[in-house]
Structure formats: structure tokens, C-alpha cells
Amino acid sequence: MESEQKELQEENPLGFERIHVLLRKFAVPSVIAMLVSSLYNVVDQIFIGWGVGPLGNAATNVAFPVTTICMAIALTLGIGSAARYSLHLGRKEEGEAAKVVGSGFCMMILFGTIYAAVVEIFLSPMLRAFGATENIFDYAVTYTKITSLGIPMLITMNGLSNLARADGSPMYSMTCMLVGAIINTVLDPVFIFVCGWGVAGAAWATVIGQAASFIYAVLYLRKFRRVRLQKEHFRLTLCQIRQTCTMGMSNGLNQIAITAVQVIMNRSLVHYGTLSAYGPDIPLAGSGIVMKVNGIIFAVIIGINQGMQPIVGFNYGAKKFSRVRRTYMLAVASAVAVTLAGLVAFEFFPHYVLRIFGNGDALYFEFSVSFMRTFLCSLPLVATHLISANFFAAIGKPVRGALLSLTRSVFFFIPAVLILPLFFGIKGIMMAAPVTDSVSFLIVTACIIPELRNMGKE
């Protein structure tokens, strides 16, 4: 009896603790961490809106695809490494798990440095491609040229945060994000209003916050609980790169798809805005705020995803399939509940949400309110889709997860953004999201139900 109790205590709690307790333990810090991470952009948007005006907000919207590509790399490497780490721990392969951590860290530094160099070299054509108008271009260049310095740190910090969570330290993962966000929030008003640096001040506050989070995240390399890292684990091989990127590509491709969608949507907003009473700049500014607000809801969903991943990955590797099913169902229910709460705010109180980000004229609020109510009306369907796509990656079926991610973001949304405005003008761009989300929800439901029913039979 005593030996059985000792064995249970030494066993990873992911395999026996109650599901709702585990999901709360892992998801709540992950949600807080992702919300804090999203504050980098939201806080900048708020202070820029009050300190610079709508053109400053439009500039950060144009520059935002640079950040989403950065997050695509971070999520691919971070969640890919964390998924592999959890699966190896479930199979009691601690040596392989240690190799995943070491190679993952090397990838984060290398890929982050390469992407930062690409942004610095091709900044102007990138911003033009992302939809920058003449009135916005200089603001966007100033902001992005500075924030690109923090790209390697942002990727590494996010990647190690996912690994710390998979290692059973969700609070440490949360603190990584929290440190940088607090510093960014404190420095933003100082640099923008006191020093009078405008968008450059917001950018420097962001980079300094990222540097602090990066240092805190790297310190965890000495504190891993489930493995002991040695110098020989920090080696980069093509095999490790391929396996990690394959496991994380569902999340990464979803971010890349978001980038492609935003670029195409920005250019469509400029085109159809010019043909409307709003002009080219109001749609960019209004949609930018709506997308940042949408990013807050997405941050919660991604946090639930990240909290679900180590639980699902470990139990799938340990062949405890009933626990896998229960974790998925609880994650979906939690994400849908959050999106329903957000939906109430966006549909009934849009003016209050928009005024947080500064003032504007009547046309600005007319467009922004309409965009928010229409574009975000299908959030509960999005929650189910995102949780399901990440679920396939967590159980070692990343290709299916990636295809589900692309189904929503690329295969349906981009055609909708291009086709619907031909019939409905700028209103068609707003309608693209609910139309796409409805179709994608039907597809993901048809994929996930057989998977849950047949799990373990093979």
C-alpha cells in the first residue's frame, strides 16, 4: 500500500489529477500570460490613440502583420516543442524530452535573429504591401523599425514560456509575460506624453518590456523540473527542426493565415473605403482597433489551448483516452463561455469599448461600431474551431490540425473578403468573418466527432 502511494506521488499529476483541476491550474496562468502578451499591442494602441490620434492607430494596424508573423514563429517553435516534450514525458522518455528543450531554444534564437534581419532590410516594401497609405507610412516605419529589435527576444520568451508550462510551471510561464507587460504599461505614458516621443516612445517601451521578459524566461533553463539539461542537449539538427515545426505548424500556420488575412483586408479596406464616405484612413484605424480587441478574446482562447495541450499530450502518450476526451470537452466549453461574454460587450456596448482607444469624428465611430458588431458576431464558433485544430496537434496529428486552421483563415476567409465586397461594398468585408466561421464550424465538427469516438480503437 505504501509503495503504491509513493508511486502515485512520483507520477506526473497530469496522469491522475482531476481534469477540471488540471485545466484550471494550467489554463488560468496561460490565459493571464496571453492576455498580458496581448497588452503589448493594446496598451500601445490606447496610448497612441490619445497621444497621437487615429493616424497613429492606423499605423500600428499596418505594422501589426510584422508582429503576427513573429508570433507565428514563436507559436510554431514554442507549442511544437511543448507538444513533443509532453508526449515524451508521457512515454517516460526523459532523455528525448531534454533534447527537445535544448534544440527548441537554439531554434528560437536562430529563427528570431533571421526574421529580425529580414524586417530591417525589407521594412519599407513590407509596410507598403501591408496597406500603408502616405499619411500613415512614416508613423508605421518609425514604430516597426524599433519594435523589430525585440523580435528574437519575443520569440524566445514565448517559446520558453510554453516549455515551462509543459514542465509543470504555469505560474512561471505567466510571470514571464507579466514582467514585460508591467514595464511596457509603465513606460508607455512616460515615453509618449512626458518625453513626447509619440509612436517611437510606444515602440521603445515595448522592446524594453520584451527584454525583461526574455531574461526571466531564459533563467528557467536552469530550473526544469522533469528533465536535467546538459550542454549536449543544446544541439540543432534538421531532424529536430522538422519534428518541432511539424508539431507546431497548426498554430504557426494559423498566425501566418491571420497575417495574410490582415494584409488582404487592409488593402481591401483602403480600396473600398476610398469608394465610400469613410475614405481610406478611417477603415484602417477602426478595423485596427476591432482586430486588437478581437486579439484579446483570441488571447483567452489561445491560453485555454495552451493549458489544454500538456494535459492532452501527456494522457494521449500514456493512452488514457477518456481523460483526453474530457479535457477537450471542458476546454471547448470554457472557450465558448468566454466568447459569449465578449459577444455581449461587442454587440451591446461597442461605443464604450471604442472610446477606450481615443476619440474620433462621427464617421469614424459609425464605421467602427458597424465593423465591431458584424465582424465579431460569430466568436463562439471561432472558439470551437481553434480549440479543435490545436487538439489534433496536441495528440500528434499536426497535419490535420494545420488543415483545419487553414480551412478557416485561408480557404474560406480570403475568398470571402475578395468576393463579398463586390456585391455589398465595404460592408462585405465585415460580413466575411461570420460567413466563414459558420462554414468552418461545420467542417471542424465533422472532423472532431469521429476522432473522439474512435480514439484508442486503432
pLDDT digits (tens, 9 = 90+) for 149-184: 999 999 999 899 889 888 888 888 888 888 888 898
Identify the band that residue 11 occupies on the pLDDT scale cut at 50, 70 and 90.
Answer: low
Alpha-carbon gap, residue 78 to 181, rounded angstroms: 19
Range ranked top by mean pLDDT from 228-242, 247-261, 280-294: 228-242
Q: What cell does 410 get?
A: 485561408
Residues 272, 253: Cα–Cα separation, whole Å: 28
Residue 56: pLDDT band by 50, 70, 90 thresholds?
low
Residue type, 12: N
Residue 13 has pLDDT above 90, yes or no: no
pLDDT attached to residue 54? 67
pLDDT for residue 5: 40
Cβ count within 10 A of residue 77? 33
Query: In this structure, what C-alpha cell is assigned to residue 203?
Result: 515602440
Position 71 scores a pLDDT of 84
| Rounded mean pLDDT, 421-445 | 91
Q: What is the pLDDT of residue 216?
A: 94
Please say if the pLDDT value at position 456 is more than 70. no
Which band of pLDDT confidence, cut at 50, 70 and 90, is reported for residue 416?
very high
